[in-house]
Amino acid sequence: MDFKGYVLFHLIDLNKNFLFKNLIVSIKMSKIENGIYFIASEDQSTHFIAYKDGKILDPYDYYQFPRTHGFCQMFAFFMFTGNVNDFEKVHITESTFSGTEFNKYVHNSYTCLQQIIQLLKKPKYKIVRDAFERDFNNSTTTPRRYFGIKRGTTFEQFLSDLAEIPKEQVFVEMVEIYEGYGEEIEQQSKKKTFQQQGMKFFKAQQALVNNENENKYKTKPELCVQPTGDETQYEAFQAIIANSFRAGRNSIYSKLLKIDNIQLIEKDIYELVKKQ
């Protein structure tokens, strides 16, 4: 090979290497990172979605009732870490009512609450528990009157009373959520069918309530958190947890994720996947 051919050969080879390296860089830049993604909606609510190994793990698609808020950040955390054995996958068709699926939503919400309580007891998450306690005791971030917290309530009392919330309270909360969802159905025939199916199911459930379990569905006045407005007692407790485990770089939630090496990313995961 003459000198000119030698130079040309190596220029082509260098060009191939350059293009190959650029391709690798491009792939690395476009790869979506594992983590929990969130984005605030127009109404200032925030939804959390896990993304792991190329798969979107949206709580709404698995365990949580669509368009509801409260524990989505914890559902996303448990889904990312694989702690979902006690949840039940929900199969629901839009604008249709199913008593079986309704009971699954109740079960999942109650189970999520129990898993949060157990998580806060683990030594591994002590830093999260301590941060939660500081936030709870801060009257600026957690105003007592706004959240219905009785005067003099300690964090230990809050956790103790939290464990006293019965599953029946979650049932009452889910009834309200379903009724609100039914009102939003635009097509009148579907709305009517949905409401009729729901009414039939709830009447059947009402027939099962007796003197022994009736009080479980009612607000417990002895607990340290009382409902404000028309919320349920379960929702009142849930709101305090959701308030403390909010999004943010230095939030309690970010501390939780950091322990398990999970990134918290403020981006729309659906838009990122769409651009792939």
C-alpha angle 226-230-232 in degrees, rounded to nearest 5: 50
Residues in the chain: 276
Structural domain total, the chain:
1
pLDDT tens by residue, 173-202:
988 888 888 888 888 998 888 889 888 988
Burial bucket for residue 230 (CB in 10 Å: 0-12, 13-18, 19+): exposed
Nearest Cα to Cα of residue 52 among 82, 25, 85, 30:
82
In a domain, 130, yes or no: yes
What is the extent of the structural domain holding 258?
Answer: 32-274
In a domain, 192, yes or no: yes
Q: How far apart are CA 36 and CA 261, in angstroms?
A: 11
What pLDDT does 96 receive? 82
Supply 258's token pair. Answer: 């950091």
In a domain, 7, yes or no: no
In a domain, 231, yes or no: yes
In a domain, 96, yes or no: yes
Rounded to 10 degrees, the C-alpha dihedral 215/235/190/64 comes to -110
In a domain, 15, yes or no: no
Nearest Cα to Cα of residue 93 among 222, 192, 190:
190
pLDDT classification of 136: cutoffs 50, 70, 90: very high
User: Number of C-alpha atoms within 13 angstroms, CB side, residue 14?
Assistant: 6
Q: Is 50 within 8 Å of 33 (Cβ atoms)?
A: no
Which amino acid, residue 78?
Answer: F
- Which comes out higher in pLDDT, residue 191 or 13? 191
Supply 117's token pair. Answer: 């309580």
Quickly count helices (H) and strands (E) in the chain. Answer: 12, 4
pTM of the model: 0.85
* Mean pLDDT to the nearest integer, 133-148: 96
What pLDDT does 212 receive? 67
In a domain, 93, yes or no: yes
pLDDT tens by residue, 249-268:
889 999 999 999 999 999 99
In a domain, 16, yes or no: no
